[in-house]
């Protein structure tokens, strides 16, 4: 993973190309299916958050490039939770929709647990349904239908760059349901010894110094100091933070949670921001959608 940012972009592009090949095979094999063997993803956004709209546009564009049908739904911010759930139930019943993604965060007053659990288990391509998450947490049970996309992308990067977590000490910074907790579970399933740090953790730097693998998802620019990193550590930086930069046309630039320049001289591998985990997240969404479509076609 010590490759420059372009190599990471190429990794995500390779995954998207693999997805496109799978999509073409489905269209050929299931041409007589009601939707012609075309996987379909419905993306629902509530409100007008600029960052959410940007993410949704990227996801829909990636779907279309891979040959996946993309259905977009934009609801006003003052929509009721009931109307959102009604839409989800309609999408659950559609045979041409194999994956449903509700863009988070939802407006204040909406309960994301209730909303996400309204998505049919087989169409939960974000992996946030309680049953999918529970299956991820439990060993020796049926695997989840889908694994959350960003954590899945983290593991995919480790795999594709030959980083085996087995027997290694991994420190996760952040315990969110979206990244920190599922990454910890996935690494434990790969036989890593995992420590999860959060806002109440004391002596974070000392814990990070013991890590062979560090995954940071706290959303604080420069939070992980280069002096915390032991030589040869593998660093996966999930943070995406905007910092003021008058030299940029937009007036800011994006950075990660890790002190980039200092970490480069210590780590054996490190993901850049932007260009590292972000593209892999979208690539894993495509993978989850095609997996869901394959299950649906086989069942039909």
- Percentage of the chain beyond pLDDT 70 is 98
Confidence of residue 48 (pLDDT cuts 50, 70, 90): confident
Nearest residue to 98 via CA among 286, 292, 298, 285: 292
Assign domain 149-277 one CATH number from 3.30.460.80, 3.30.479.30, 3.40.50.720, 3.90.650.10: 3.40.50.720
Q: What is the dihedral of CA 271, 207, 219, 7, to 10 degrees?
A: 0
Mean of all residue pLDDT scores within the chain: 94
The single residue of 103, 124, 257, 291 carrying the catalytic annotation is 103
Q: Which of 51-60, 158-167, 244-253 has the lowest mean pLDDT?
A: 51-60
**CA gap 22, 141 in Å, rounded:** 27
Whole-structure pTM value: 0.94
The single residue of 122, 124, 126, 212 carrying the catalytic annotation is 126
> Residue 139 pLDDT more than 90?
no
Contact 193, 169 (CB under 8 A): yes
The single residue of 59, 123, 152, 168 carrying the catalytic annotation is 59
Tell me whether residue 122 is one of the annotated catalytic residues.
Answer: no
pLDDT at res. 228: 98
How many CA atoms are closer than 13 Å to the CA of 210, on its beta-carbon side? 13
Q: What is the DSSP letter of 120?
A: -
Residue ranges of domains in the chain: 29-124, 149-277
Confidence of residue 2 (pLDDT cuts 50, 70, 90): low
Q: Helices in the chain by DSSP H: which ranges?
A: 5-29, 50-66, 81-93, 112-117, 130-137, 149-160, 180-189, 204-209, 260-264, 277-299
**CA gap 214, 275 in Å, rounded:** 18
**CA gap 289, 71 in Å, rounded:** 13
Q: Helices in 30-118 by DSSP H: which ranges?
A: 50-66, 81-93, 112-117
Domains 29-124 and 149-277 share a fold: yes
Contact 230, 211 (CB under 8 A): yes
Tell me whether residue 225 is one of the annotated catalytic residues.
Answer: no
Q: Which two tokens stand for residue 240?
A: 């995406």
Tell me whether residue 103 is one of the annotated catalytic residues.
Answer: yes
Contact 271, 277 (CB under 8 A): yes
What's the CATH fold of domain 29-124?
Rossmann fold (3.40.50)
Using one digit for the tens of pLDDT, what is the confidence trace for 68-91? 999 999 999 999 999 999 999 999
**pLDDT (average), residues 239-254:** 90
């Amino acid at each position: 993973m010590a490759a420059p940012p372009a190599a990471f972009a190429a990794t995500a592009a390779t995954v998207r190309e693999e997805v496109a090949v799978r999509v073409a095979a489905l269209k050929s094999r299931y041409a007589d299916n009601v939707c012609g063997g075309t996987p379909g993803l419905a993306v629902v956004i509530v409100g007008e958050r600029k960052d959410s709209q940007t993410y949704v546009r990227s996801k829909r564009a990636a779907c279309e490039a891979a040959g996946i049908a993309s259905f977009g739904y934009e609801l006003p911010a003052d929509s009721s939770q009931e109307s959102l759930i009604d839409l989800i139930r309609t999408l659950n019943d559609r045979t041409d929709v194999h994956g449903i993604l509700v863009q988070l965060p939802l407006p204040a007053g909406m309960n994301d647990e209730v909303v996400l659990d309204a998505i049919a288990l087989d169409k939960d391509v974000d992996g946030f349904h309680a049953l999918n998450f529970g299956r991820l947490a439990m060993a020796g049970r049926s695997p989840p239908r889908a694994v959350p996309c960003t954590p899945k992308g983290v593991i995919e990067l480790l795999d594709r760059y030959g980083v085996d977590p087995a027997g290694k000490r991994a420190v996760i910074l952040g315990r969110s349901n979206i990244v920190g907790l599922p990454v910890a579970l996935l690494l434990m399933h790969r036989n890593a010894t995992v420590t999860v740090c959060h806002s109440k953790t004391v002596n974070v730097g000392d814990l990070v110094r013991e890590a062979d693998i560090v995954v940071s998802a706290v959303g604080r620019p420069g939070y992980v100091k280069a002096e915390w990193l032991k030589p040869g550590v593998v660093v996966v930086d999930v943070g995406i933070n905007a910092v003021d930069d008058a030299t940029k046309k937009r007036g800011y630039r994006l950075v990660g949670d890790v002190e980039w320049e200092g970490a480069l001289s210590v780590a054996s591998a490190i993901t850049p921001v932007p260009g590292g985990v972000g593209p892999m997240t979208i690539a894993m969404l495509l993978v989850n959608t095609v997996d869901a479509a394959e299950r649906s076609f086989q069942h039909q």
